[in-house]
Structure 1
Amino acid sequence: MTARPPRLERRYQLLLRAYPRAYRAERGEEIVGVLLDLARPGQSWPTPADVADLVGSGLRQRLRLPIVDGLAAGLRLAAPVALALAAGLSACLWAWLEVVTGLHTTGPVAYAAWLAAAVAYALGRAGAARTLVVVAATTALALPAAAPLTDLDRPPLWVTMVLAAFGVIAAAGLRAPASADERLGVGAGTPIIAVCATALVATAGLPPGPATAYYQPTLARVGLVVAVAVAVHAAIAGVRLISGRPARAWLWATVLLAVPGGWLGQFGDQVAAGVPGGAAVDVAPHFGRLAQVLLATCVVGVVIAWLVRAESPVRAGRRQAPRRATPGADRAGGGALWLTIGAALGLAATIAAFALPAYLAYATPMPLPRAGYVSATIALLVATALARTVVDARTLAPGRWARAALMVAAGAVAAACVGWLVAVYDNKWTLTGWAHPDLTANLVTTLALVPFALFALDAAPSVLRSSASARPVLERTLGLWTLLASAAWLSYTTVPHLLSWGPVLLLLVAGLLAVTLAPRRPTVN
């Protein structure tokens, strides 16, 4: 046997040490075997897709991430749909906003890459399509930074976020070779989505023009197309659940598509014809896009947590033994919980810093209702964070205090940075001279959706479980306070604006209630 050159031999040994033959994780062992064969003399080098899969499998192994049942199959189902949605929406935005309304931005650079990826996949070039998807998603994220270098405007951040999220799903799930059904779905689905989305926008009665047809009213109607895709996957999963067939892959596909879909188009904003400057008129209670994005992400997070924790009592004809409970197993996770505590404290401090000038009448005095809401948010964030600190400090090992303190500090710094970025964004990317810090503080309070949702998700199992009565009185009381305070703030902030929620978000909430209240099926695979 011909000996390998030293360079190939070193690579061969590195692969052996990084991925032992006993390692099995989805496609991990298969990819390693392919790469080891390709490393032999006279063979071609691995493709970029093989290297990406190898890196992903290696990170999963090194970080000890669990292999979630159905996630890989769900990604495979959702990836072509995500590609068709991204390409179809790109065609709609390009045709309607850039051509019809005359709104000229740098967006067509990314739109062209998405359309090229869809064409390549429809022609059976899955590897090239995956590369183009990565290029399109990266370009979409880079457009806001590159716009100042040109005379064109940048596309709104919400558009780039949605396209980049679809790109992540497509890049992670596209596999070669593509089946005929997948190729046909992307090839036929892309123009159908583009035509339907454009028709919804064109027939909405909006006067054409850059000022009246900006991305906000357009996305509110484009979101209906994405909602249909999410609803179809949810319906298929529901039918499979009712019939007792494996449905976990379809559930994962629904959730994955709902992440960017939930960021699109909340109801309630409509441009009135004849209004000077295209002023927006609220036809339903106002619900800002930041709140829409955060609430949709939190709801999807709850569904993902349910899917990850749900275990099938029957798998492959064998009955599984129930998992043994461990101390603190009902918690959201040690590190994640301390990060959440730090984020709540850091966000409270940031909101207080923005609201203080208004309290002192440094700028426009804050109206009493707004001042009460901001003050209540700050107080609830601090009180809830302290309650969780007391509860979790009782079970914290003596040697873990330093790590917990580091997590709290990291969460506080991260929350302060995000709050500051939201404030800068709200003031047109200016750092000083803010005319209305009270409005800025009110907007930054929207970020509290995330820590309150995590607090509620952490406290609910321990409070609602029948064995909770055996816990100490202090722990039960603080857990009940955490759940009630978080639920009260979340309800006050979101439920009154129910008519403004986007279609995908309403579908998610309905589906979450259905799977929670429905009787358990024997399998969910």
Structure 2
Amino acid sequence: MTSPLERRYRLLLRAYPAAYRTERGDEIVGVLLDLAPPGRAWPTVGDAADLVGSGLRRRLRLPIVDGLTAGLALAGPVALALAAGLSACLWVWLEAVKGLHTTGPAAYAAWLAAAVAYALGRARVARTLVVLAAATALALPVAGPFVDLDRPPLWVSMVLAAFGVIAAAGLRAPASADERLGVGAGTPTIAVCATALVATAGAPPGPATAYYQPTLARVGLVVAVAVAIHALIAGVRLTAGRPARAWLWATVLLALPGGWLGPFGDHVVAGVPGGANVEVAPHFGRLAQVLLATCVVGVAVAWLIRAEAAMGVRSRRAAPTPAPERWTRPLGVTRWLTVGAALGLAATIAALALPPYLAYASSMPRPRTLYVATTVALLAATALARAAVDVRSLPAARRARAALLAVVGALAAAFVGGLVAVYDNGWTLRGWAHLDLTANLVTTLALVPFALFALDAAPSVAPAAAGQPRGERAVIWWTLLASAGWLAYTTVPHLLSWGPVLLLLSAGLLALVLVTNRRPRTG
């Protein structure tokens, strides 16, 4: 007779394909039952997440990335300590000392409880509390209108939730003594250091500003130290010729939410939506910080997946680097979604910008007007050129699928652009007084399609890829130069405003690429 726990484990196994469930189901359930303590009737949240996540990955045929699992194991306890330490800092300094009253302590308490449970050796309980803390952080903005308290900014909740995903995926049971000690000692250390950094800079009055600056940028320095330590260990191991993929993955994983903290010098001038610094390109604010950090991490992830041989890892013999794929080969979902997103975003920006530009053309700042117009033109021209080249290489039966993907990408980009516009106008749907500034802010979203365009086109300009017809190669170069030029113009002038983790990650990635390219290839 099967136990209630076994029946529930087998119910979760339905996430796996039927053939795999039939072949390996008994083995998986047997291992889980052996690990479960006597009397347990329900799977833990961590067990359920592992089973369902692994099953969905097999259903979707997603590859298992070498080094990612080990990287998660390294990053999980660090992410827990960072989230708990930052929660303690925000709770003590902003809520208790400065007297700001928000719904944040509901999530902060769950994070601190998770850190205590893990330090005491209750790893499964800690994973459950981590999931609860991350879910609470995401629920705070939704619950805000129903209570009399303010809510922490979306950026704070988003960072804590991202650390929660990393911790929930990386925490192991049972936890080693080093991991328990690291979380137990690291959490108060992080809290004290973050609080000291924020306290020395002071805090502006009011929750709308105190949670942003100087808090986010100063707290980002603490996260940057953790990222730098992992990057340094990875660099030392690479120099010594030892396997370093796990440490590189841990660095990238921690850098993603850490890169969202900041940027330096982020402020809003009173009475001017968007700030007075919005002249040509958007001021490098929180939205630009999040998008650029995500794009840089995406480049690092792509580099880790594709360039194993170039990293000099001695754990396996490096295989010759394959020639890049032809640029005209249809890459499926990502390429056509990007084309659609670029067109949808261009249409959204134009819809926001045209009314004020047509009505008040004489009073609009000309540099900003040219910047917005150039962004719309480059997005549309690049997307249409790529689509025209790619559609010719597609079989007739797949063109309908490509068109559907492009439509989905366009609708998604229009929705996100509209959401940013609503956010820029105080979450209201009417009475928008500065559509020109709103359009300028929405152009920040172009970081994502231009980064994807550049990442896709860059391998095809290598000498090994010089086999395309002249027209196709011209489109490749246009895609790369237009994307790289727009990205550089939008981000590089604000280099000193980038958050600490973003600066660190960008410098480390550039140094690693330079070292790799100079290293002589063997074998």
TM-score using structure 1 length: 0.89
The aligned counterpart of 2:351 is 353
Q: 1:383 to 1:178 in 2, by over 3 A?
A: same
Structure 1 vs Structure 2 CA RMSD: 3.2
- Supply the distance in 2 between the matched residues of 1:212 and 1:185 (Cα, whole angstroms): 33
- Supply the distance in 2 between the matched residues of 1:329 and 1:32 (Cα, whole angstroms): 45
The aligned counterpart of 1:450 is 448
- Supply the distance in 2 between the matched residues of 1:207 and 1:431 (Cα, whole angstroms): 29
Compute the displacement of 1:101 (Å): 1.5
The aligned counterpart of 2:70 is 73
* Matched-pair contact (CA < 8 Å) for 1:31–1:53: no
Q: 1:508 aligns with which of 502, 505, 509?
A: 505
* Matched-pair contact (CA < 8 Å) for 1:169–1:256: yes
Q: Report the more deviating stretch, 64-73 or 51-60.
A: 51-60
The aligned counterpart of 2:516 is 519
The aligned counterpart of 2:133 is 136
The aligned counterpart of 1:93 is 90
- Supply the distance in 2 between the matched residues of 1:99 and 1:70 (Cα, whole angstroms): 42
Amino acid at match of 1:50: D
The aligned counterpart of 1:466 is 463
The aligned counterpart of 1:59 is 56
Q: Report the more deviating stretch, 224-233 or 98-107.
A: 98-107
* Matched-pair contact (CA < 8 Å) for 1:124–1:183: yes
Is it true that 1:481 corresponds to 2:482 in the alignment? Answer: no
Map residues 100-115 of structure 1 onto 2, 5 A cutoff: 100-115=97-112
Q: Deviations over 1:289-330 (max 9, x none)?
A: 100100000000000000111234898876465476685489
* Matched-pair contact (CA < 8 Å) for 1:102–1:209: no
The aligned counterpart of 1:417 is 415
- The SS at the match of 2:369 is helix
Q: 1:288 aligns with which of 285, 288, 291?
A: 285
Compute the displacement of 1:467 (Å): 2.5
Is it true that 1:310 corresponds to 2:272 in the alignment? Answer: no
* Matched-pair contact (CA < 8 Å) for 2:159–2:260: yes
The aligned counterpart of 1:499 is 496
The aligned counterpart of 1:375 is 373
* Matched-pair contact (CA < 8 Å) for 2:333–2:405: yes
Q: 1:387 aligns with which of 359, 376, 385?
A: 385
- Supply the distance in 1 between the matched residues of 2:400 and 2:110 (Cα, whole angstroms): 47
- Supply the distance in 1 between the matched residues of 2:119 and 2:330 (Cα, whole angstroms): 42
The aligned counterpart of 1:240 is 237
Q: 1:365 to 1:354 in 2, by over 3 A?
A: farther
Amino acid at match of 2:18: R
Q: Report the more deviating stretch, 191-200 or 359-368.
A: 359-368
The count of aligned residue pairs is 509
TM-score using structure 2 length: 0.89
- Supply the distance in 2 between the matched residues of 1:120 and 1:522 (Cα, whole angstroms): 48
Is it true that 1:250 corresponds to 2:247 in the alignment? Answer: yes
- Supply the distance in 2 between the matched residues of 1:212 and 1:405 (Cα, whole angstroms): 44
Compute the displacement of 1:271 (Å): 10
Q: Identity over aligned residues, as a percent?
A: 75
Compute the displacement of 1:470 (Å): 2.0
Gaps of 5+ in 1: none
Q: 1:318 to 1:68 in 2, by over 3 A?
A: closer
Compute the displacement of 1:430 (Å): 0.6
- Supply the distance in 2 between the matched residues of 1:42 and 1:99 (Cα, whole angstroms): 42
- Supply the distance in 2 between the matched residues of 1:472 and 1:97 (Cα, whole angstroms): 61
Q: 1:298 aligns with which of 295, 300, 305?
A: 295
- Supply the distance in 2 between the matched residues of 1:405 and 1:137 (Cα, whole angstroms): 37
The aligned counterpart of 1:262 is 259
* Matched-pair contact (CA < 8 Å) for 2:326–2:465: no
Q: 1:55 to 1:481 in 2, by over 3 A?
A: same
Compute the displacement of 1:142 (Å): 0.5
- Supply the distance in 2 between the matched residues of 1:299 and 1:10 (Cα, whole angstroms): 39
Q: 1:190 to 1:522 in 2, by over 3 A?
A: farther
Q: Deviations over 1:320-377 (max 9, x none)?
A: 6547668548979321010000000000000000001111226995321111111000
- The SS at the match of 2:466 is helix
Gaps of 5+ in 2: none
Map residues 121-160 of structure 1 onto 2, 5 A cutoff: 121-160=118-157
